[in-house]
Structures are given as structure tokens and as C-alpha cells.
Amino acid sequence: MSGSARRIRLEPGFLLHHHPWRDSSRILELFTQSHGRVSVFARAARRSGSGLAAALQPFGELLVSFSLRGEAGQLMGVEPRVSGEPPLPASRLMSGYYANELLIRLLPKGDPHPRLYVAYATLVAALAAPERDPARALRIFEKRLLGELGYGLNLETETSTGRAVEAQCSYRYRVDNGPERVNGVAEGSLIFSGSSLLALAAETLDDERSVADARRLLRAALERVLDGRELRTRQVALAMRAHGRDAGAG
């Protein structure tokens, strides 16, 4: 790309992560509606009275203006898209940070994913609603993320025969291929009822079993895509659970 910078104004986006840069600035990782994941420098963001720190909060949709040259940009302005949005409950923050880490690890910079942006916004809204099940919302988001990355799961057709998956049957799921019907008693970590596979395909997940089965299957699929890279949020969640603290549904 040429040396001239593109100026993007009032782009909807979410803050995924930030870390200090130099004395008073920050580097922001943003997930934007039209430009995908971008990194921008926010000068003086940590300086007292700058006003940026209050605006740059995770899990609230923002309108960001920035100039972009190559893979890095310069923040020009930011404001909440909707004022007065409630923060995520403390018990669901780890679920949100887990989703953010997946996006940072798996999305290449500058690759637009408008449907995934909608899926992420839907997840955040579900995590903010006390009556919504965070585990169900996370599983649906993980499924949509895999699909957007080109690793969508075959959940409705038997691999070897092409027959439709049947709710009353049992299946061994091969992450790199799909479901294979099993007869009799089957053992293994990736054995699922057809009803659970179909519930994930339809994104219903209306009972505890289908949610638990979806978690097992999606974790195996994501581990394959992550290629052995550990998620920090998962390690933190395990440590919190070991100390008897609620770590959310990541």
C-alpha cells in the first residue's frame, strides 16, 4: 500500500485489548465493523485529564476515528456509540475477555468480517443480560467464529455415507472431517448424540446436555485452529476456579 494514510471516521468498533506505549500513550487492539482487527496508537491516552481513558472501555460499542497506514494507525477520536451502556457483570468479564483473546489470536489484521462483528456484538449483549445464559452465548459465538475463519463444522451430514445426522443416533466426531455413526457402546471424548450435533447446527442449545456437548466439540475444534497455542484467559479461569472463584463460562 502507498505511504499515504487513510482516514476513517466514526467507525463502529469494540476495544479488545490495550497496553502501554511510551510514557503516556497506549496501543489499542480494535475490532471494527468495516476494517476488521486494527491496531492504533492512542497518544496521551494515559495522561491525566485526557478523557480517553473513560471512553476506552471494553465491551461497549464505540465510534472510533483513526488514520490507518499499513497495519498500524493513529487514533483521532473515540466516543461511545450508545451512552450509558451498563458494564458487564463481574461474573461474566472472563467470558468476554476469552472472546476477545480468541479474536486477537485468530483474526488477521485488516481482514473485514462484518458477520463476525454482528456475532460479537450479539455475544456482548447476551453477556450483559442477567437472564441470558453466558455459556450458550459463548458456544454460538465460537461456532460462528470457526465458520468465518473457514473452519466451519459439518454437523448435519455423516462423513462417510452422506446420510443426514439423526437425533436418536450416536456419532464419533472427527474434527478434521465430521460425524461418523457408531453402533453399540462407544467410548471417547468426542462421542455425541445426534440431537446435540443438530442443536449446535441450529444454534438452539436449549438444555444443559447440548451446551456441555457443544463446549467439548468446539474446544477440540478451536484447539486445532490454535495449533497448540495456550489461551491466557483459560489459564486464568482455571486458576480462579481452583481458588473457588466464579470464572465465568469461557
Q: Which domains are seen in the chain, by residue range?
A: 6-80 (2.40.50.140), 90-154+188-242 (1.20.1440.120)
Q: Which residue has the cell 474446544?
A: 219
Predicted confidence at residue 50, as pLDDT, reads: 61
Cα gap 81→10, rounded to integer Å:
9
What value does the mean pLDDT take over residues 98-126? 97
pLDDT digits (tens, 9 = 90+) for 127-141: 999 999 999 999 999
Q: Tell me if residue 4 falls in helix, strand or coil.
A: coil
Query: In the predicted model, what is the mean pLDDT of the chain?
Result: 90
Please, what's the b/e burial string for 216-247 (b: 16 or more CB within 10 A of its CB; e: otherwise)? ebbeebbeebeeeeebebeebbeeeeeeeeeb
| Bigger pLDDT: 204 vs 2 | 204
pLDDT for 25 beyond 90? no
Task: Tell me the pTM.
Answer: 0.91
Amino acid letter, residue 157: T
Amino acid letter, residue 228: G
pLDDT for 17 beyond 70? yes
pLDDT for 248 beyond 90? no
Phi/psi at 150 (5° precision):
90, 15
Q: Which three cell numbers, joined as nine digits, stand for 46?
A: 494515559
pLDDT digits (tens, 9 = 90+) for 44-78: 666 655 667 778 889 999 999 999 887 778 999 99
> 201 burial class (0-12, 13-18, 19+ CB within 10 angstroms)?
middle
Q: Give the strands of the sheet with 191-193, arranged side by side.
A: 178-182, 170-174, 191-193
Predicted confidence at residue 2, as pLDDT, reads: 47
User: How many Cβ atoms are within 10 Å of 110's Cβ, its own excluded?
Assistant: 15
Q: Which residue has the cell 453399540?
A: 184
Return the minimum-mean-pLDDT range out of 83-87, 144-148, 210-214.
Answer: 83-87
Cα gap 44→70, rounded to integer Å:
22
Predicted confidence at residue 1, as pLDDT, reads: 41
Predicted confidence at residue 72, as pLDDT, reads: 77
pLDDT for 244 beyond 70? no
